[in-house]
Structure 1
């Protein structure tokens, strides 16, 4: 699957911007691809709809991502389709390599996001989108052994995003707040629910960024996570990112990530790198 995704990236990069991307929406307004496949930042789905489709257009994105921390490596391949800048359909495949245990976890995520109100840049309301993600483990032995209650589940979220073209320091700024109902352990890679808690809880996720120029942004993301498993404490995740948008066809995001404690291994920090192509 990863080979096919990389081939898709190469194909998209080979096609000119005028043929592949809508001209109406501003650069970077489709965001990047999160680790779960939805448009946004690396950790958090934003209210933005992927790609650059206008009200009468259909488009899509493909992305490959790697996050490497002290004891674990996460590889993600993802794709999304956007319809009329209103609806986004996404899919992602995640592989978490447990380098200290010599095994791996696998998960698939299927997402829907719908823009319900507002606009990213104009008008009184920020862009507001509602989303749902259905996730399922395809290797469940380890999550079940540590107390997970189920191998599949769904998350629901509401996100609000806003861009200010002439913000402080005469720069363009972006802010996003997402509220998610979830019982996922480590994004769902360790299953759903546990011996401490088996109910969905509301978790807050947020992002803020500043554009240094038209195609280069820096920012921060924060993601609150539930703590359901008694065998190991789960901590919130955060990142400091740099996002480069050389054209509407391609973006590259690099970040320092702090995922806290994962499955008993403390202080899991490292890097995140994601390459995305839009058409």
Structure 2
């Protein structure tokens, strides 16, 4: 419902802004679409505003991504609208293959085989200072603030979330600073996220005592190096609050619900100004290690996006 609502809002807003993006940005300076729909790297938002829209223009982008690890899968569809290279609105629908969770039935739950968790993410980002390209020869970074409103449909896993005291709705707040060193072909980004999301929100938000119910500040960093004008490589790191582990320990599960840091190494290619293709090697750490025999969830992330 929220996905359709934001798409409708974007369509209704378009006639109010007579200039679609026609000049466009330098390749890759709009970032790519994250798994949460916001412009940035694959797993963390940047201060850059997505689409090809520059000053007094507005634009749209659509994206799709697929992540496969040893035990899990995550598919994401996203849509974003931007105006004046200052405001970005985004929406994403995530579909998480949580099939291993059927192991929880041994604890008395009734998880449906092949269970999927779905999450809607509505995002807003506002550039508050700096301009990445124009300020590339100064120390001033581009700075943006943003919010992501998330709602999770856990299906037959809902009783598990209720057991650990995790809510199915939450809001992430963040501030990002991106510095483009044009002469060196380097982009640096740092993000601070105020969140209580478990695995980005796919496992709910917060936890009952003795877990952590409230939000905390979590750092995220990215670096990207431009090999040529249409090709870049980079790496990212995203920390998460470890809300659930204490609840698991109190229930005699040890570290079965531990939350680890996400990492990736990526390459992104822009065959045209509007089109980007991304591939990444991803390490999500241990995702609910109690049902996956403590295995680290490493795998391949593929994404494509088109913008104008």
TM-score for the superposition, normalised by structure 2: 0.81
Deviations 1:236-259 (A, max 9, x none): 000000000112210001000000
1:118 positional shift: 0.4
Report the CA distance between 1:208 and its aligned residue.
0.2
Select which of 209, 213, 218 maps to 1:203: 218
CA distance in 2, matches of 1:180, 1:206: 11
Displacement after TM superposition at 1:149 (Å): 2.6
How far did 1:22 drift? 3.2
Q: Are 2:271 and 1:258 equivalent residues in the alignment?
A: no
Selected match of 2:296 from 264, 267, 274: 267
Number of matched pairs: 259
CA contact (8 A) 1:163 1:173 kept: yes
Task: Report which of the two has the higher share of helix.
Answer: 2
Asked if the contact 2:126/2:145 (under 8 Å) is kept, the reply is yes
Instruction: Give secondary structure in 1 for the equivalent of 2:157.
Output: helix
- Aligned Cα root-mean-square deviation (Å): 1.8
Aligned residue in 1 for 2:175: 158
Unaligned runs of 5+ in 1: 5-18
Greater RCO (CA < 8 Å, at least 6 residues apart): 1
Relative to 1, partners in 2 of residues 1:201 and 1:141: Cα closer, same or farther, differing over 3 Å?
farther
1-side partners of 2:144 and 2:275: how far apart?
24
Aligned residue in 2 for 1:31: 31
Of the candidates 245, 265, 273, which is equivalent to residue 248 of structure 1? 273
Using the TM superposition, give the Cα deviation of residue 20 of structure 1 relative to its aligned residue in structure 2, in angstroms: 7.5
Counterpart of 2:115 (choices 92, 100, 103) is 103
* CA distance in 2 between partners of 1:250 and 1:59 (Å): 14
CA gap of 1:243–1:31, structure 2 versus 1, over 3 A, is same
- Separation (CA, whole Å) in 2 of partners of 1:144 and 1:126: 45
**Partners of 2:50 and 2:229 in 1: CA distance:** 18
8 Å CA contact 2:206–2:243 kept in 1: the answer is: yes
Pair 1:121–1:139, CA change in 2 (3 A): same
For residue 74 of structure 1, give the secondary structure of its aligned residue in structure 2: strand
Q: Scaled by the length of structure 1, what TM-score is found? A: 0.89
Contact 1:60 1:82 (8 Å CA) reproduced: yes
Deviation at 1:192, TM superposition (A): 0.1
Larger radius of gyration: 2
CA distance in 2: counterparts of 1:86 and 1:24, whole angstroms: 14
1:176 equivalenced with 2:196 (yes/no): no
| 1:140 CA drift (Å) | 5.2
